[in-house]
Amino acid sequence: MLEKNTATKGLNLLQIKNFEDFSDVAHKRPLNIERFKLDYHKHIEKPPLAVMMNGAHFGSLGNISLILGKAKSRKTFLGTMLMAAALKNSTELTDIFKHYLPREKRRVVFIDTEQSEYDAKVVSERVLRLNNTEKLSNFDVYTLRAASVEERVEIIEHILANQSDIGLLVIDGIRDLVHAINDEKEASYIVNKLMKWSTDHSIHITVVLHQNKSDNNARGHLGTELQNKSETTISVRKDKDDILSIVSAEYCRQEEPEEFAFFIDDDSLPRVLEGYQQAASKQKKRKLEPHTEEVNTHLSVLTKLQDAANNEKLGYTATVDLLQIVGKNMFSTFGDTKAKGFLKYYCEQGWIKRMGASRSPNAHYVIHLDKVK
């Protein structure tokens, strides 16, 4: 364990063998917390345009949640909606975010680790405008872009230790609380910190993380650890026209929330698209199973399968592979397991018959469209 009076200038997480005792490094030197607190009423000169972040989410006290999204998917706009609703239950947002924070825990704290002061001020102003007010006494914003990794952790611990009325903490840029996103020890350390903070202070913590560019997975070991420990993980993505941002549940311990969409209006404020939520939810919850599909749908599948087979005698594997190709062209998802399930169903209905013994190299499948009724 490190002694509290140990010289720690330049110390980083990788130099600390006992990660649980990292809090002993706190107060290693005087730290001016106020210099990191954003005065969002003060005029700040606009710097050269930087990358803007997007993100957000909700959950229960004593738990953490995760928001995933690729760059420019409007994650920060989603976070703005979450914070605005938590602060005053904005009438614009109650259909999506409803909060039940106790009276004594109505403070919302926003930690921004990546944006400039100007951009953080813009986010803060959006929260105010969504609540039709110029000031919120229970809303604090800290911009930690200029702080070191160690300072960021220390600052958050200091804020939580000295403000008992916090109910929601949003950290936009959890990746900046570690040095290496693929370091297993660092990932475990910071996620344990989040769980400890949320439990010890009885608050909900929402963190924002990027998805991989090549797929929709959370980045690095940190992302994996966060998904494993989060109460709820949601993702935000843009639609094909780049107008709507779609918010979907990815992993939930409780009942899965409905999918919804939002857009940015002419005043640069996020607005929920009315009517999308219910329709999208029904479409998402509809599970593709052969026994629930209409006969006409199966007839279409089998007709396309017969055309693709082109009179060739196909064995089991070849039939499954071809059925999978046909299925993918007709449905949003249709993998190998789904194709095998459909083939089994078709054989049970007599719409496809196997000719020859099951293990015979000459066994093949014949489609009987005339029996599909």
Question: What percentage of residues in the chain have a pLDDT greater than 90?
Answer: 33
The CA distance from 174 to 231, in Å, is 16
Q: Which of 328, 325, 327, 371 is nearest to 352 (CA)?
A: 371
- For the chain, give the mean pLDDT: 80
Q: Indicate if the pLDDT at residue 71 is higher than 70.
A: yes
Coil, helix or strand at residue 141: strand
Q: 186 and 313 share a domain?
A: no
Listed residues 258, 285, 312: the one ending a domain: 285
- Same domain for 327 and 190: no
- In whole angstroms, what is the distance from residue 177 CA to residue 186 CA? 9
* Structural domain containing residue 240: 13-285
Domain identity same for 112 and 155: yes
Residues 315 and 349 reside in one and the same domain? yes
Calculate mean pLDDT across residues 148-152: 95
Closest CA to 118 of 198, 44, 229: 44
**Residue 196's pLDDT band (cuts 50, 70, 90):** very high
Instruction: Say which CATH number the domain at 313 has.
Output: 1.10.10
Q: Is the pLDDT of residue 11 over 80?
A: no
Per the domain annotation, does 7 fall within a domain?
no
| Position 268 in a domain | yes
Q: Do 266 and 310 have their domain in common?
A: no
CA dist 367 and 353 (Å) reads: 7
Judge if 151 and 66 occupy the same domain: yes
**CATH code for the domain of 157:** 3.40.50.300
Please check whether residues 150 and 277 belong to one and the same domain: yes
Q: What's the average model confidence in pLDDT over 294-321?
A: 88
29, 201 contact by CB (below 8 A): no
**C-beta of residue 115 within 8 angstroms of C-beta of residue 145:** yes
Tell me, yes or no, whether 301 and 339 share the same domain. Answer: yes
Are 352 and 300 part of one and the same domain? yes
Consecutive H or E run containing 8: none
Distance of CA 11 to the CA centre of its chain: 32
| 83 and 175 both lie in a single domain | yes
Task: Decide if 1 is inside a domain.
Answer: no
Residue 233 forms part of a structural domain: yes
Greater model confidence, 299 or 13: 299
**Among candidate residues 242, 269, 285, the one where a domain is terminated:** 285
Per-residue pLDDT of 32-54, as tens digits, reads 777 777 776 777 664 322 212 22
pLDDT surpasses 60 at 284: no
Domain membership of residue 96 (yes or no) is yes
My answer on whether 253 and 225 are in the same domain is yes
Q: Quick: pLDDT tens for 310-347.
A: 888 888 888 998 998 888 878 767 878 888 989 998 98
Of 29-38, 50-59, 131-140, where does mean pLDDT reach its minimum?
50-59
Separation between Cα atoms, residue 180 and residue 184, nearest integer Å: 9
d(CA 177, CA 171): 10
Asked, for residue 362, whether it belongs to a domain, the answer is yes
Number of domains composing the chain: 2
Identify whether 224 is part of a domain. Answer: yes
SS3 192: helix
99 shares a domain with 227 = yes
DSSP 313-341: ---HHHHHHHHHHHHHHHSS---HHHHHH
At residue 112, does pLDDT exceed 80? yes
- In the prediction, which pLDDT does 131 show? 87
In the prediction, which pLDDT does 101 show?
A: 80
